[in-house]
Structure 1
Amino acid sequence: MDIDSEVDQGTQNALLGLVHRHTGISMTAKKWTLLQGRLRPRLRALALRNYRDYLALLENTPDEVRNFINLVTTNETSFFRTPRVWDYFAQHYLPRWFDAHRGAVFHLWSAAASSGEEAYSAAMLCEEFRARHPSFQYQIHATDISSQVLASAMTGQFHGRSIDGLKAARPAMLAKYFRASAGGYAVIPALRTHIMFSEHNLYRPLAAREAFDLALLRNVLIYFETADQECVIENVRQSLAPDGMLIVGESESLSRLKTGFAFEQPLIYRNHGAPHDRTA
């Protein structure tokens, strides 16, 4: 029997609903073909007859949920994506933060880290800043809901379009912070020691004791409905320092949302909501 034959509406709706339940991502019925294409190889690998059988597996096998999340999430990223954001970070944000927080450790949260390019981009610029200001200290926490892309990020190994883009845009960074390895390039250990990776669902608060100075939540809000966007943004805000900053993606804005953030400039917002007691 063809896996795709006779997929009843109830099964479609249930699987679309599970995407939202487990990730917060909203998929309407118009996205069924996309979801079907992402799940089809998994059904074949499990030798399942149809999507109804896979739905039953998901509902009765918690371990399969992780595979489901890996399949339904979108992971598109690159080094130094949206260059003006990184120019702001290096030329304006870091110098001002350092002047105002002498002796403190800078904490950055890459909240939708994907395969790690964003976190490593931030680390490279932090290292460049530290070369000019030796007392500067930093730590980066990189999270993603997908265990699959996080496993890739933790290796620090890159190749293909990711490296090609870095080589074209910032060849000096590639030469300084990467070493050739089998089939690609590996991030140097000195950079990796400043980054901690962990799984996290943005639909839930982050269990971290430190308050972050800056959170990067880029190109992820577009996958959520308004109420879910506000939930995610508040979860992120609760992990920020009282004067913490948030940077969103180039096609995203908080202007129509109810949040605890004040507009600074396009894509960049400052926390102005009630502080969160992390010792509670």
Structure 2
Amino acid sequence: MTVHFIGAGPGAADLITVRGRDLLTRCGLCLYPGSMTPTDLLAYCPEGAECVDTANLNLEQIVGRMITAHRQGHDVARLCSGDPSLYSAVAEQMRRLDEAGVPYKMTPGVPAFAAAAAVLNRELTVPEVGQSLVITRAQARSTAMPEGETLAGFARTAATLALHLAINRIEQVVEELLPHYGEDCPAAVVALASQPGELVVRGTLADIAGQARTAGMTRAATIFVGRVLTADRFPDSFLYSSTRDRTSQPESL
């Protein structure tokens, strides 16, 4: 029996992958974060499956449920909001499963920043404007950031930023970024991407914090900062260039 860490996607039930959906249909136990995962996804679970909201469980209780189900002969679905490779707290769960000798696999999902970029109808890597994306968060009451991973440090690269878990400190974020990007740098915030109540604000570093507060954004939001957000004058990428020799070169940017 196997524990499956499944990316549930950013919110909309139909944004789970086909593989993730199919895994749900055969797992006897489904553990899901009720505050972040749409309950519509639970409709894919087989009849008689046990579905447990982990919002009020601690780490040991969650892993304990996995181990018990495994020993009882059940596959386990552990739904993770977005993609399990980002801010999903699966690393410590997998460490404990390793200690218990319980096998597991990861199934990717649509991450929140990708869903938010889709809402904005923007590509985050635009030729000669921005070719790098930094995914990070702001320091609050959560686990401390590693030394050297600061907003100011990332900002010095001028790369496009996608900030998770930062909406309630957006004023501080803006203050740290302004010296490096300037007041006119485009910015946007998408809250509850793909979910009911989806909200979007667009502006610059000069006004984005005020817009987000006025809109009442307080959770499940991604903050974007970078010139790619409004870029309209840039060269075409080399990928589909008419001057490219397609007879001998593999596809590349």
TM over 0.5: no
Q: TM-score, normalised by structure 2?
A: 0.27
Q: TM-score, normalised by structure 1?
A: 0.25
- Name the structure where helix makes up a greater proportion of residues: 1
